[in-house]
Amino acid sequence: MTRITSPFGWETTAAEVAAGHDLSGRRAIVTGATSGLGVETARVLARCGAEVVLAVRNPAAAHGLLDEIAAFGGKAHAAALDLADLRSVEAFAAAEDAAPLHLLILNAGVMACPLMRTAQGFEMQLGVNHLGHFHLTTLLLPALKAAGGARVVAVSSTGHHWSAFDFDDPNFERGEYDPLAAYGRSKTANALFALELDRRYREDGIRAFSLMPGGIQTELGRYMTDEVRQRLGTDPEGARKIRWKSVEQGSATTIWAALGRELDGVGGLYLEDCNEALPSEPGMRSGVKPWARDAEAARRLWDWSAAAIAAA
Protein backbone atom coordinates (compact mmCIF):
# COMPACT_ATOMS: atom_id res chain seq x y z
CA MET A 1 0.00 0.00 0.00
CA THR A 2 1.29 3.46 -0.94
CA ARG A 3 2.33 5.61 2.02
CA ILE A 4 0.19 8.74 2.40
CA THR A 5 2.26 11.92 2.29
CA SER A 6 1.63 15.66 2.14
CA PRO A 7 3.51 18.82 1.13
CA PHE A 8 3.94 19.58 4.83
CA GLY A 9 6.60 18.43 7.27
CA TRP A 10 8.38 18.89 10.60
CA GLU A 11 8.45 22.71 10.51
CA THR A 12 4.90 23.26 9.23
CA THR A 13 2.49 25.09 11.54
CA ALA A 14 -1.14 24.27 12.13
CA ALA A 15 -2.22 27.54 10.49
CA GLU A 16 -0.27 26.64 7.36
CA VAL A 17 -1.97 23.24 7.15
CA ALA A 18 -5.40 24.85 7.63
CA ALA A 19 -4.92 27.53 4.97
CA GLY A 20 -7.68 27.38 2.36
CA HIS A 21 -10.03 25.20 4.40
CA ASP A 22 -13.54 26.52 5.07
CA LEU A 23 -15.26 24.81 8.00
CA SER A 24 -18.37 26.96 8.04
CA GLY A 25 -21.35 24.93 9.20
CA ARG A 26 -19.16 22.26 10.80
CA ARG A 27 -18.84 21.44 14.49
CA ALA A 28 -15.72 20.31 16.32
CA ILE A 29 -14.98 19.15 19.86
CA VAL A 30 -11.44 19.51 21.22
CA THR A 31 -10.60 17.94 24.58
CA GLY A 32 -7.98 19.60 26.76
CA ALA A 33 -8.35 22.99 25.09
CA THR A 34 -7.07 25.20 27.92
CA SER A 35 -3.33 24.71 27.40
CA GLY A 36 -0.68 23.65 24.91
CA LEU A 37 -1.69 21.92 21.72
CA GLY A 38 -5.40 21.97 22.54
CA VAL A 39 -5.52 25.77 22.56
CA GLU A 40 -3.82 26.10 19.18
CA THR A 41 -5.92 23.30 17.68
CA ALA A 42 -9.17 24.94 18.80
CA ARG A 43 -7.98 28.39 17.70
CA VAL A 44 -7.08 27.21 14.18
CA LEU A 45 -10.34 25.28 13.70
CA ALA A 46 -12.34 28.32 14.83
CA ARG A 47 -10.42 30.58 12.43
CA CYS A 48 -11.47 28.22 9.63
CA GLY A 49 -15.11 28.80 10.55
CA ALA A 50 -15.90 25.73 12.65
CA GLU A 51 -18.11 25.95 15.73
CA VAL A 52 -15.75 24.65 18.41
CA VAL A 53 -16.62 23.08 21.74
CA LEU A 54 -13.78 23.36 24.27
CA ALA A 55 -14.13 20.21 26.38
CA VAL A 56 -12.19 21.01 29.55
CA ARG A 57 -12.06 20.20 33.25
CA ASN A 58 -12.42 23.84 34.25
CA PRO A 59 -14.48 25.92 31.81
CA ALA A 60 -13.46 29.14 33.58
CA ALA A 61 -9.89 28.51 32.42
CA ALA A 62 -11.08 28.75 28.79
CA HIS A 63 -12.35 32.33 29.07
CA GLY A 64 -9.21 33.84 27.53
CA LEU A 65 -9.38 31.60 24.46
CA LEU A 66 -13.14 32.15 24.14
CA ASP A 67 -12.59 35.92 24.19
CA GLU A 68 -9.90 35.61 21.54
CA ILE A 69 -12.11 33.48 19.29
CA ALA A 70 -15.02 35.88 19.71
CA ALA A 71 -12.73 38.81 18.82
CA PHE A 72 -12.03 37.40 15.36
CA GLY A 73 -15.69 36.45 14.84
CA GLY A 74 -15.37 32.76 15.61
CA LYS A 75 -17.88 30.53 17.36
CA ALA A 76 -16.96 28.56 20.47
CA HIS A 77 -18.13 27.61 23.92
CA ALA A 78 -16.61 25.70 26.81
CA ALA A 79 -18.16 22.73 28.58
CA ALA A 80 -17.04 20.72 31.59
CA LEU A 81 -15.41 17.36 30.88
CA ASP A 82 -13.36 15.38 33.40
CA LEU A 83 -11.97 12.36 31.57
CA ALA A 84 -10.99 10.82 34.91
CA ASP A 85 -14.67 10.37 35.80
CA LEU A 86 -16.93 8.39 33.45
CA ARG A 87 -20.01 10.07 34.91
CA SER A 88 -18.60 13.45 33.82
CA VAL A 89 -17.98 12.03 30.35
CA GLU A 90 -21.58 10.86 30.18
CA ALA A 91 -22.94 14.24 31.29
CA PHE A 92 -20.83 16.05 28.69
CA ALA A 93 -21.88 13.70 25.89
CA ALA A 94 -25.55 14.00 26.81
CA ALA A 95 -25.30 17.78 26.48
CA GLU A 96 -23.33 17.76 23.21
CA ASP A 97 -24.82 14.91 21.18
CA ALA A 98 -27.81 16.69 19.67
CA ALA A 99 -26.12 18.27 16.63
CA PRO A 100 -23.98 16.60 13.94
CA LEU A 101 -20.32 16.38 14.92
CA HIS A 102 -17.77 16.62 12.12
CA LEU A 103 -14.50 16.62 14.07
CA LEU A 104 -13.66 15.03 17.42
CA ILE A 105 -10.13 15.84 18.56
CA LEU A 106 -9.01 13.62 21.46
CA ASN A 107 -6.18 15.83 22.64
CA ALA A 108 -6.28 15.88 26.46
CA GLY A 109 -3.85 13.75 28.39
CA VAL A 110 -1.71 13.16 31.43
CA MET A 111 1.90 11.96 31.36
CA ALA A 112 4.24 10.20 33.78
CA CYS A 113 2.19 10.94 36.87
CA PRO A 114 2.66 9.05 40.13
CA LEU A 115 0.33 6.11 40.66
CA MET A 116 -3.17 7.55 40.87
CA ARG A 117 -6.63 6.19 40.18
CA THR A 118 -9.60 7.64 38.35
CA ALA A 119 -13.02 7.99 39.98
CA GLN A 120 -13.83 4.46 38.79
CA GLY A 121 -10.50 2.99 39.90
CA PHE A 122 -8.55 2.80 36.64
CA GLU A 123 -4.87 3.69 36.52
CA MET A 124 -4.90 7.42 35.80
CA GLN A 125 -2.96 7.54 32.53
CA LEU A 126 -4.95 4.68 31.04
CA GLY A 127 -8.19 6.09 32.41
CA VAL A 128 -7.71 9.63 31.10
CA ASN A 129 -5.74 9.10 27.91
CA HIS A 130 -7.67 6.09 26.64
CA LEU A 131 -10.77 5.01 28.55
CA GLY A 132 -12.26 8.48 29.04
CA HIS A 133 -11.77 9.23 25.34
CA PHE A 134 -13.08 5.79 24.34
CA HIS A 135 -16.25 6.36 26.34
CA LEU A 136 -16.69 9.87 24.99
CA THR A 137 -16.31 8.74 21.39
CA THR A 138 -18.70 5.82 21.62
CA LEU A 139 -21.33 8.01 23.29
CA LEU A 140 -20.96 10.57 20.48
CA LEU A 141 -21.21 8.02 17.67
CA PRO A 142 -24.77 9.10 16.72
CA ALA A 143 -23.60 12.70 16.30
CA LEU A 144 -20.56 11.59 14.31
CA LYS A 145 -22.70 9.45 12.03
CA ALA A 146 -25.15 12.32 11.55
CA ALA A 147 -22.35 14.51 10.15
CA GLY A 148 -22.30 12.54 6.92
CA GLY A 149 -18.51 12.46 7.02
CA ALA A 150 -16.56 12.86 10.24
CA ARG A 151 -13.01 12.43 11.49
CA VAL A 152 -11.84 11.37 14.94
CA VAL A 153 -8.25 12.30 15.80
CA ALA A 154 -6.49 10.64 18.75
CA VAL A 155 -3.28 12.35 19.88
CA SER A 156 -0.90 9.49 20.63
CA SER A 157 2.88 9.77 21.07
CA THR A 158 6.24 8.19 20.37
CA GLY A 159 5.76 7.20 24.01
CA HIS A 160 3.93 4.18 22.58
CA HIS A 161 7.42 2.81 21.86
CA TRP A 162 7.83 2.22 25.60
CA SER A 163 5.17 -0.44 25.96
CA ALA A 164 2.64 -2.54 24.13
CA PHE A 165 -0.74 -2.75 25.82
CA ASP A 166 -0.72 -5.13 28.80
CA PHE A 167 -3.99 -7.07 28.86
CA ASP A 168 -2.86 -9.09 31.89
CA ASP A 169 -2.37 -6.15 34.25
CA PRO A 170 -3.61 -2.97 32.52
CA ASN A 171 -4.17 -1.04 35.75
CA PHE A 172 -0.98 -2.01 37.61
CA GLU A 173 -2.92 -3.91 40.23
CA ARG A 174 -0.25 -6.61 40.54
CA GLY A 175 2.96 -5.42 38.91
CA GLU A 176 5.19 -2.60 40.09
CA TYR A 177 4.05 0.75 38.74
CA ASP A 178 6.27 2.50 36.20
CA PRO A 179 5.01 5.94 35.11
CA LEU A 180 6.64 5.71 31.68
CA ALA A 181 5.39 2.19 30.98
CA ALA A 182 1.90 3.34 31.99
CA TYR A 183 2.13 6.28 29.61
CA GLY A 184 3.37 3.99 26.87
CA ARG A 185 0.45 1.62 27.33
CA SER A 186 -2.03 4.48 27.14
CA LYS A 187 -0.45 5.89 23.97
CA THR A 188 -0.43 2.45 22.33
CA ALA A 189 -4.09 2.25 23.30
CA ASN A 190 -4.75 5.56 21.50
CA ALA A 191 -3.30 4.16 18.28
CA LEU A 192 -5.13 0.84 18.56
CA PHE A 193 -8.39 2.63 19.34
CA ALA A 194 -8.17 4.76 16.20
CA LEU A 195 -7.36 1.67 14.14
CA GLU A 196 -10.40 -0.26 15.38
CA LEU A 197 -12.75 2.73 15.40
CA ASP A 198 -11.97 3.29 11.74
CA ARG A 199 -12.56 -0.39 10.90
CA ARG A 200 -15.90 -0.50 12.68
CA TYR A 201 -17.40 2.76 11.50
CA ARG A 202 -15.87 3.78 8.17
CA GLU A 203 -19.02 2.55 6.40
CA ASP A 204 -20.90 5.13 8.51
CA GLY A 205 -18.63 7.91 7.22
CA ILE A 206 -16.38 8.04 10.30
CA ARG A 207 -12.62 7.91 9.71
CA ALA A 208 -10.09 7.86 12.55
CA PHE A 209 -6.40 8.65 12.89
CA SER A 210 -3.77 8.66 15.63
CA LEU A 211 -0.61 10.71 15.62
CA MET A 212 2.65 11.80 17.19
CA PRO A 213 2.64 15.61 17.49
CA GLY A 214 6.39 15.91 18.10
CA GLY A 215 8.50 16.97 21.05
CA ILE A 216 6.91 20.09 22.52
CA GLN A 217 7.53 21.65 25.92
CA THR A 218 4.04 22.04 27.40
CA GLU A 219 2.30 21.48 30.72
CA LEU A 220 1.94 17.79 29.82
CA GLY A 221 5.24 17.18 31.60
CA ARG A 222 4.23 18.81 34.88
CA TYR A 223 4.32 15.50 36.80
CA MET A 224 7.78 14.46 35.65
CA THR A 225 10.34 13.92 38.38
CA ASP A 226 14.06 14.53 37.87
CA GLU A 227 14.52 10.75 37.63
CA VAL A 228 11.92 10.44 34.88
CA ARG A 229 13.42 13.36 32.95
CA GLN A 230 16.85 11.72 33.13
CA ARG A 231 15.41 8.46 31.80
CA LEU A 232 13.85 10.36 28.90
CA GLY A 233 16.88 12.53 28.23
CA THR A 234 14.85 15.68 28.87
CA ASP A 235 16.71 16.81 31.98
CA PRO A 236 18.19 20.32 31.63
CA GLU A 237 21.38 19.06 29.97
CA GLY A 238 19.58 16.63 27.66
CA ALA A 239 16.85 19.11 26.74
CA ARG A 240 19.42 21.45 25.21
CA LYS A 241 20.26 18.76 22.64
CA ILE A 242 16.65 18.20 21.56
CA ARG A 243 15.10 19.91 18.56
CA TRP A 244 11.80 21.00 20.07
CA LYS A 245 8.74 21.97 18.09
CA SER A 246 6.74 25.09 18.89
CA VAL A 247 3.11 24.64 19.92
CA GLU A 248 2.11 25.90 16.47
CA GLN A 249 4.26 23.22 14.82
CA GLY A 250 3.19 20.57 17.30
CA SER A 251 -0.47 21.13 16.43
CA ALA A 252 0.11 20.80 12.69
CA THR A 253 -0.25 17.01 12.44
CA THR A 254 -3.50 17.14 14.43
CA ILE A 255 -4.89 19.69 11.99
CA TRP A 256 -3.68 17.65 9.02
CA ALA A 257 -5.39 14.57 10.46
CA ALA A 258 -8.59 16.57 10.82
CA LEU A 259 -8.55 18.42 7.49
CA GLY A 260 -5.92 17.01 5.13
CA ARG A 261 -7.33 16.30 1.69
CA GLU A 262 -4.62 13.68 1.19
CA LEU A 263 -6.42 11.60 3.83
CA ASP A 264 -9.80 11.58 2.10
CA GLY A 265 -11.02 8.01 1.74
CA VAL A 266 -8.47 6.46 4.11
CA GLY A 267 -8.25 5.99 7.86
CA GLY A 268 -6.82 4.03 10.75
CA LEU A 269 -3.37 5.48 10.10
CA TYR A 270 -0.70 6.62 12.56
CA LEU A 271 0.67 10.01 11.47
CA GLU A 272 3.84 11.96 12.19
CA ASP A 273 5.13 15.32 10.88
CA CYS A 274 2.05 15.69 8.63
CA ASN A 275 2.69 12.39 6.87
CA GLU A 276 1.85 8.76 7.44
CA ALA A 277 4.50 7.47 9.83
CA LEU A 278 7.12 4.98 8.76
CA PRO A 279 7.53 1.68 10.61
CA SER A 280 9.86 2.17 13.57
CA GLU A 281 12.93 -0.03 13.50
CA PRO A 282 14.99 -0.89 16.61
CA GLY A 283 16.86 2.17 17.83
CA MET A 284 14.61 4.65 16.03
CA ARG A 285 12.97 7.41 18.08
CA SER A 286 10.32 8.03 15.45
CA GLY A 287 7.81 6.02 13.49
CA VAL A 288 5.20 3.51 14.63
CA LYS A 289 5.86 0.22 16.39
CA PRO A 290 4.16 -2.97 15.14
CA TRP A 291 2.21 -3.44 18.38
CA ALA A 292 0.41 -0.14 17.72
CA ARG A 293 -0.70 -1.43 14.29
CA ASP A 294 -1.87 -4.89 15.44
CA ALA A 295 -5.45 -5.33 14.19
CA GLU A 296 -6.16 -8.25 16.52
CA ALA A 297 -4.89 -6.30 19.55
CA ALA A 298 -7.08 -3.38 18.45
CA ARG A 299 -10.19 -5.59 18.40
CA ARG A 300 -9.26 -7.08 21.75
CA LEU A 301 -8.66 -3.66 23.29
CA TRP A 302 -12.05 -2.41 22.07
CA ASP A 303 -13.83 -5.37 23.71
CA TRP A 304 -11.79 -5.00 26.92
CA SER A 305 -12.48 -1.26 27.11
CA ALA A 306 -16.21 -1.63 26.56
CA ALA A 307 -16.41 -4.34 29.23
CA ALA A 308 -14.32 -2.36 31.72
CA ILE A 309 -16.52 0.72 31.31
CA ALA A 310 -19.73 -1.31 31.55
CA ALA A 311 -18.54 -2.81 34.83
CA ALA A 312 -17.43 0.54 36.32
Neighbour-count burial of 266, counting CB atoms closer than 10 A to its CB (0-12 exposed, 13-18 middle, 19+ buried): middle
The residue ranges of the chain whose pLDDT is under 50 are none
Kindly tell me the sign of the dihedral angle through the C-alpha atoms of 55, 57, 61, 63: positive
* Number of neighbouring beta carbons within 10 Å of residue 241: 8
CB atoms within 10 A of CB 107: 25
- Quick one: pLDDT at residue 285? 85
Count CB neighbours of 41 within 10 A: 31
Backbone angles phi, psi at 31, to 5 degrees: -85, 150
pLDDT at residue 216, rounded to an integer: 83
Q: What pLDDT, on a 0 to 100 scale, did the predictor assign at position 172?
A: 97
Task: Give me the pLDDT at residue 223, please.
Answer: 66
Bridge partners, 196 (sequence order): none
Looking at residue 123, its pLDDT comes to: 98
- Bridge partners (DSSP) listed for residue 153: 105, 209
In order of their start, the domains of the chain are 14-311 (3.40.50.720)
Active site residues: 183
pTM: 0.95
Paired with 151 in beta bridges are: 103, 207
**pLDDT for residue 196:** 98
CA distance 155 to 145: 21
